[in-house]
Structure 1
Amino acid sequence: MWTLHNLQFVLFSLIHVFGYEGRGARISCSYGQGYEDYEKYLCKDNCGDSDILILTSQTNGTKYFIFDEQTTRVFTTTIADLRFADAGKYWCGVSRSGKDIYTEVKLEIQPDSCCDNVTKVQGVEEGSVSIICPYESKYQNNLKYMCRGNQRSTCLQQALITSNTRHNGRVTLNDDKKSNTFTVTVLNLTLEDSGSYLCGVQRETGLDDFSAAELEIKEWCCVKSKNIKGTLGRPVTLQCSYPHEHRNNRKFICKGERRSSCEAVTMDQDRFTLHNISSSFFSVTITKLEAGDAGTYWCRSQPEWAVGDYTQFHLAVDKSSTVALCCLSGAAKLIRVSGREGRDVNVSCLYQQGYESYEKYLCKNDCSEDSHVLIRSTDVKKDRYFTHDDKEKHVFVVTISGLTSTDAGTYWCGLTRTGYDSYSAQVNLEVQKAWCCVKTTYTSSTVGHTITLSCPHPPQHRHNRKFLCKGDDRNSCIDVVTSGSRFTLQEDVSSSSFSVMITKLEEGDAGTYWCGSDSQWSVGNYTKIELSVDKRLRGAPLDKPKLHAKRFRDKYGL
């Protein structure tokens, strides 16, 4: 096997490249003027027959991709899905008569996940927490940042905050250069804030420096939590203890899933009565229990919500009188709702004044079984269903997310009450197929040639602006017909169509295009075009690396 040690060559400077395991690394090598049409390649170790990884005359594979930007005289090789075995010495080569030109490359690979040492930090729901991140003194003026997760390769792009912004919503960053630490503070903590975080310091060369923290947010909860069960139509009593020093404080009870947003229960209602039993506890009696009384209650003796000064109750109401919808549907109003697959849809259920505190729900089919109930007003979220009860407008709204064809059918807006439940509306939900095109055209051409894309449009759009954009999705495609570009739009009024001519076709022109005459993207008013571009190789291509190695040796007379 022939190696670089046996051959004559011209060697340029050493390039250092860094990458993360499982990610990609780009090796960019420049070359001199006049070598634009020469073949370039990347090889590893001693550049023997089996060490040549890819040439510009070859088709890109799944591991190695090569692109020669002749205008800047830089060819770039991308190595995908890095493994630790990929680390080592590489050579960028420019093939020419006599001595080839080489640039040495050193590739270093580190694990993407971080880190072996993790700082544990704890906080309390609705409170605040500070995470302290140390760094070396030589990085005092470098960019600092923090992200969620433990992947170093994407941390800066997904940063929650950087030292350039210092304040972002609930998150602030303070850099103390005297102690060589920066501190990230998170306010109004939620349980969802728990998880892994990375502190990052950007470096001028090489990979960034990181330290890791694990944040645990504990639920702000009570000293005592009780489960109470009552029967529909019967009374129930909740007993609430409190510290002796609060004996002269105002006592009250509120209802809601979270203490921070619970609604105070008015004691002058006929069914709610508060009694001071002793200097250590008070009671609240609810008479004639209704299904809507079920839920979470909080009783306390001071407004600051100090831990230990209140009690949490989970009240369940045994419903003994519910009938099937088969006999009650006659008076229900019919509502027709339509949505599209993959999107969200809202179902709005009106109810009468006086039922603000009653439980509402949405059910499917005939609602004769509990399993038919999809979600209740006591549930903010359940699977793909979300609720919002606007008690001022007397409307209960259920959002169904991620629609599928199986969601189509009949639903009922229900309200739980003593005796028979009330059903205010029958809902017929229609789910339409995903938004798609009327016509898809497939076409192809060759690099350097000219191609014309034809786009029909409705006659009534003859005065509309016509456009052609490129991108995998119509909602994010980029307009390509701009002044001075290789794309030229011409309209043919007589045939209700327009065309776009692309000159000097390039390999990068391949992809998905959308042409249309309706800015609202109405179905039928546009055409989807899939363009493929055949590559035309410059000079005489080499079919295999071994042939290249043979020519390589012939040049040196070996």
Structure 2
Amino acid sequence: MRAGIIIIIIFLTLCLISGQVLCFKVIGCSGGSVMFKCMYKSDEQHNSTPLNQRESNDQLKGKYFCRNRNRDCKPGISTELQRRWVNNERFALYDDENSRFFTVFIRNLSREDDGRYTCGNNQKWSRDVELKVNNNSSSCGTSVIRSAYKGQTITFSCKYEHKFKTHTKVFYRVNGDPVLVLNSSQSSQSSEEKFILSDGQKDHFTVTIRDISEAERGVYLCGVERDRADKPPSEKSNTHITFIKEIELKVHGQITSVQVEAYISKSVFITCEFPEEFKENKKFIQKDSSKEIYVEQNQWIHYDRVHVFDDTSAGVLKVFISDLTAAEEGTYRCGVNTADDHLLMRIRLKISQVGDHFRESVAVIGESVKLSCNSPEKQQLIKHICKENEEKICQSISSSEKQRFEFSDSTAGVYTASISNVSLRDAGVYWCGAETRHEHLTSVSLTNKHQLTLTMPPVIGREGDSVEIKCSYDENYSTEVKYLCKGKCFTKDAQNIIRSDEDHDKNPKISVKDDTELNLFTVNTTELRAEDAGKYWCAVRDVFNLPLELMIIMKDAVIHEASVGGSASISCKHIRKQTQKLFSRGDQPSICIRDGARVSSNKRINGRFSLTEETSAGVFTVKISDLRAEDSGKYWCAEESSGSFIFTEVQLHLTRDSFCQRL
């Protein structure tokens, strides 16, 4: 940028009023500013003055600019100082002892400023100034505040009336001593220039400031060079500057600048940490050059896909962005207001493509569940898992450091997060990912999504025996009617088993107890039959508990004996037609559901195990070949229909034939 002391030639309307008094006209813009020069003499007078006299005149001090000179000369300004700006509210004056003029600068013009003024030297001379303030232009008197950040490039746009298209455009910086200037005739368009002025667009010019630093903070003015007429000034014209726009540039610092990588359709959780003394201060988030979004303290707010939370207790700003698209890529700034500035963290968010990782998991209340997550190459990174809330914000972050979940070591690019003793509160959507930590910023790129569905542990009863089904409810429903249904209550296919307000004597097989202190509704069913197997629901009004599965074990068990090295053919009766047949091993029948069957209707051969069905006879047969001693134990024949299980216990006893027996 080419900068220096202002050199402005004022347009003079040479009008002889009395003696040597001259007058000239200056045109300003309502709400804007004006700058002009009050000369000691006209050029002709000056050139005819002897050199020694000129030097003496040049040294005269005591310059002034005011209204009503012959009375109180207010409003106005005067000075005896040279090479220094003197300010009096909206007025400023600069006297250069090596020049034959002094400069007057008036800001924030209004129609009340319109009128006749006087400028001159206290001892020798004066000039009358006619100040004309116009307010009939849409571009008049614009005042804006712009914020920029260290290292950023910013562009200002300055609109002007079309009649000034060919006039010289001026961009001034008001920094107090003296004003620096960049105009369209001086500007270089080199990419190395700090300031670049361009006037190639319709009815406005632009000024770009590159690589902003603290030194660029201040007030700037956009203006046009003009004379009394609206025509472009000629080489001999005496001109002044009409400023049409004022820009206050605020330059904010940064605590840090970090690149965060996230993925299309996934989520990212970012935590900006500020110094302790600012934890109660107002915080904000901003994307690129958009408007700053200020955050309410201690509550989540959302703006499109961006959710923000100002945690004053921890002094951090939490940012969660979900369902990422390419449009979310860009530069984000999380900041905090200080006494006279902002502290900022700049986040360059990069969005990449990644394969889909969505999994559905089912967990039984009271048991454990494992959620698998893709592991980054950097094994030292802290692993995280979080659960979405009702607003789909992954608010609660748990890490391997906090031990909320048990994390396994990464193997083959995958690690697992285990939840033990699963409860109702654990149902929902989970995200997992790895943490990247910087000095003042932590980010967790969440790449794996899990839908965790919960089921109640099954209730297992034997044919002819009894079971208890327990239904908990909210204390607010203690006086309401409770229901137990086979199938989901209040639907067409549901079978009402019992209501808490019914006469229980009608069905002696069923008894109920409603403990309002424990908020527990208990149903006891006796003389169980195979057809009692199925899914049951507890309900109060339109509020449902999770369904539970009643599994029935048939009274008659199957006992089968065979020899090691031989084979066993085990026949299992089934009661219902068109059911899935299963055969599994374990102490409890639920093993067929949790760990899967050895063989089934869908997988009839599995190593030494095979399954065949004889539908007409109502049996299916499981054959185990090449029997081994460890095959001895408890097995289960099962039939399943729509989630309803009936089991038959099988005891397989193996013996070793002696040499004599084999002979």
Same fold by TM-score greater than 0.5 = no
TM-score (norm 2): 0.25
Query: Relative to total residues, which structure has the larger strand share, 1 or 2?
Result: 2
Q: Which has the higher contact order (CA 8 A, sep 6+)?
A: 1
